[in-house]
Amino acid sequence: MSNRLPQLIQGEFRQSGTDTWIPVTNPATGEVLCEAPAATADEMERAIAAAKAAFLEWREVPVSERARLMLRYQHLLKERHDDIARVLAKETGKVFADAKGDVWRGIEVVEHAANIASLMMGETVENVARGIDSHSWTQPLGVCAGITPFNFPAMIPLWMFPMAIACGNSFVLKPSEQDPMTPNLLAELFLEAGAPKNLLQVVHGGKTQVDTLLTHPEIKAVSFVGSVPVGQHVYRTATDHLKRAQCFAGAKNHMVVMPDARKDQVLSNLVGSACGAAGQRCMAISVAVFVGESKQWVDELKDQFAAVRPGAWDDDQAAYGPQISAKARERILTLIRQGKEEGATCLLDGSECTVDGLPDGHWVGPTLFTDVTPRMSLYQEEIFGPVLCCLCVDTLDEAIELVNNSPYGNGTSIFTANGAAARKFRHEIEVGQVGINVPIPVPLPFFSFTGWKGSFYGDQHAYGKQAVRFYTETKTVTSRWFDDDIPDATHGGPNMTINLK
């Protein structure tokens, strides 16, 4: 087929010799956009070997040159921003505004990577003992790998390989098989920016290819974003093979609404954070916790949810797009059915959602539940769709206890006009990323993305300073020099008289 997607191996985009091809479809129409290969064992080996060879040269490249590569790359990404977003929108179903945001958040990380010289500075202490100095140096690891999900095919790869490569490593990227066209385009632009040909390899496939990266002795570190079961498998397998691993997994993000909050802000932010990107983001708000009298706002929230509708990527009036696949849609519908069966009240049901002219799209309409309890499947599982569960409590202490009892700790937020309440919440909450009157508190790249508990497996988080620590080793050097080794003026030997004039 002419629309078979190539892989970037050994510096060139090459057609695979595989017998296994994976259809990549437009989730709004069902149209097959291309076929992605499942890389063969030989292709995986050649990609890793080429990355190892590239690392041996790249690690000697001055850090200022590595920074300039990132400057050229971010410039190209900005020039092609909308082109990338169009490709991304077609293969993910995201509306164009969401797709552009996906690309832009990735560009911000590349800009951060351009500051790599200051990020990699070591430390020095003179005279740790008489005449003895100590220095620490930050050095790259080798070949690093990234395994990325479908929901942010620009942002999340750009979390990974620019930071790793700026640190002096080479990189093998295995993107989601559901939307691999965007990562391929990112790789094309990386080569166009002047990257050495073998520095980045892009291979496609599924579990077999992932397991190769997790077990191969030349892969030194693995970055992953995805579901909880896969994240646990990646972390266990990588660490069992003595690799570094950072694995970002599931979430169940709560927004706590205090009765003194600004109602209009609360309602609009709940709609946007629950339904944006069709709910397919790990930082989506899926639980609203109404404290005290704020529970009276639920009826107005229903009205605002009802006004939201999904649609195609190029529909300017659509708030969000389809689910990524029929399987993803069916899973969401199953959880909605279970919620009803377990006693939750479905105020707004998006199960039968359709979009005119797009009968084959994987649509789920905005869905709103009340009377949800923590024992329900609807509450316990990450839905990853435009579904919001509402719970009511009497006090802020009860709200904090509810959030802290969740096995996940990716993100949370509180909406309030009271500074003391906000401080108590952010201090006591056991969640890595906290918003105060901000619904989705994803940090900018000079901070790190810091999920806690069952939302993250590993030690060092994504981007920011922690990414540099993850992708590097620290070497500590203790040195001593003797005064009588200073050369003299005649023979270049000891005891030279030094003229400083």
Cβ atoms 161, 471 nearer than 8 A: no
CA gap 88, 92 in Å, rounded: 6
Report how far residue 220's alpha carbon sits from residue 328's, in angstroms, rounded to the nearest whole number.
33
Which of 34, 167, 275, 282 is catalytic? The answer is 282
> d(Cα 355, Cα 17) in Å, to the nearest integer?
39
Whole-angstrom distance, CA of residue 145 vs CA of residue 174: 8
Residue 484 DSSP label: G
Pairing of strands 456-457, 472-480: unpaired
Q: Which two tokens stand for residue 338?
A: 């279970």
- What is the chain's Cα-based Rg? 26
The half-sphere exposure of 85 on its side-chain side, counting CA atoms within 13 A, is: 21
Distance CA 367, CA 156 (A): 27
Q: Is 282 part of the annotated catalytic residue set?
A: yes
Encoded tokens for 348:
């707004």
What is the SS3 assignment for 405-456?
CCCEECEEEEECCCHHHHHHHHHHCCCCEEEECCCCCCCCCCCCECCEECCE
Beta bridge partners of 253: 285
As annotated, the active-site residues are 282
